[in-house]
Structure 1
Amino acid sequence: MNTPPDRRTLAQAAEWFVLLASGEASDEDRCRWHGWLNAHPSHRLAWQRAEASVARLSGLPAAQAQAAAQALRQPPARRRFVGQLAALLTLGGAGWLGYRHSDHSADLRTAVGEQRETRLADGSRLQLDTDSTVDLDFSAKTRLIRLRRGQILIETATDKLARPFIVETAEGRIRALGTRFTVEQLAGQTRVAVLDQRVAIHAAASSDAPILGAGEAARFDRDGIRLRQTVDDIDRSWHRGLLVANAMRLAEFTARLGRYRTTPLHCADDIAELRISGVFPLADDERALATLTGALPVTLVRGADGDRLQARK
């Protein structure tokens, strides 16, 4: 079992992190950092804790991020940030673990109805769909994203350290092979849709690593792939803020749009099989519903337990 890092090690991790983030680290500094990182398992744990803490700042607007980077080049600001980061990292072990497993501890998260895009430290692009949470774990050997809930889009960047890019879910891991893809955490399954290039799927309880190519999608559980599909309009459009329906069942449309609303949205059973086609804005659900009720013989009824689509009388 790895020994938790002590205060001195955490302070060293904070110093290294701030030096590397300042952009002023020399090749010799990076070699010394690698030596420190690999000198003891507790050093790596301290570094991962520093990365997880600072990862929450990765969603800053570009202007603020640039200002922060410039400030780190000034010795006084650098010293202050080292102290602040070291203090954050020295949270008690039980308190830290409890915080890391709480929903609010996620490195990146979105509220219901929110979508968020960010550039990761390696230049990769990450977009979170509504009500999604992820943890980031970038080390000297691996670029890892843990998807706790929801759905994400990944567009990987070439990495100077040639580290593998992996997305981890409850059912296993997806390894990017220079690609753009989406991952969705479902109940007991993970769905992957490959938009460009390829990914390898490593189910938790399987030794196989089947590969999906561009245009392919699949659902898998801990034992392996359960359903192979093709990429559909939903896969290609949600990250552009759109719900594209092509003769979609109204029940499915209601369920998908409902994920972006804080008010529950229901569909009456007698209209569930009606079909709808069109392009609907996810960020403006009221406009989407107005378009829907204008296209189909249905009406929206507001209620204490949510809104309900039912047949127009």
Structure 2
Amino acid sequence: MTDDDAAAVLPSTLAWVGRQLAAGERIVGIEALHGGITAEMRRLTIAARDGRTRDLVLRSFVDPFYLEHAEDWLARETGALSLLAGTGVPAPGLVAVDPTAAQCAYPSLLMTHLPGRPVLDDEGVETRVPLLARQLAAIHAVRPVERPRTYVALTTADTVVVPRGADAAAWAAAIDVIRRPPPPYAGRFLHRDFQPGNVLFDLPPHGPAGARISGVVDWAAASWGPADLDVAHCAVNLALLHGPAWGLRFPEAYEEAGGVLAAAASERLYWQVRDALASSEEVRPVARQWRRAGRTDLTTRTVEQRLDAYVTALMDALG
């Protein structure tokens, strides 16, 4: 572990982690994991007396902007991880949680480490999209005994940020769409932030053809709501990462995987438009996050242009 990585985890948090370990185990490595916006993530390497090692992940809410939501988000994530144990959905295993920082320096969650990594490259996207669709359909097939809290919409007609140079008529029409009451829906268990950055892939050395999903992470927004909303969220992320056509393709892939969307096209498009407009408020931090992950081509301006093209395509579909 580097001195910086070790020093960044305060002694009270390390002591808390230590109390969750088996007798004779100790922390021998700390590595920062990059890609998250709301929380700091670190991989902890744990060694036993016999020399065997295992990895855990520590998720801590440090930024003052997100601290006020930490208790709620950690409660949602803890509930989701407990629910998903044994379902076949490849989610991390819950080890311990301190949602109010009673023992840690900051509100924290300790969980098992999953193999694989997020893949954001354009290469192989045609292989990954069906895998994403099948995985999301499997998540929606989970039937919790106790429902999580109802989804949060994340945007309103008054908070939409219209990109510079966007199609003003298309965006005005899109904003009018979300002024309407949401259509009725059959509730499903939602991840609520299912997108390529929260999906881990195990990639074979010979190419993307044999790729498989090895994990789905970041369950802090797990909710109950329409399957269309999860599908719409993944779709807009695909549109911004790989081009609008992939966003338009994803709902079809989801249905091909056995997922069920709203019966009426107008209802499906309501959710697609709503989540696309929600993305308008996060273009800058999301683009920055993707550039840090290696997609240096995704400038803020490029992402804005792709979002404009995607919203315009959705409104064209509405007729």
Higher strand proportion: 1
Flag the structure with larger Rg: 1
Q: Same fold (TM over 0.5)?
A: no
TM bin (shorter chain): under 0.3
TM-score (norm 2): 0.24
The structure, 1 or 2, with the larger RCO (C-alpha pairs under 8 Å, 6+ apart) is 2
TM-score (norm 1): 0.24
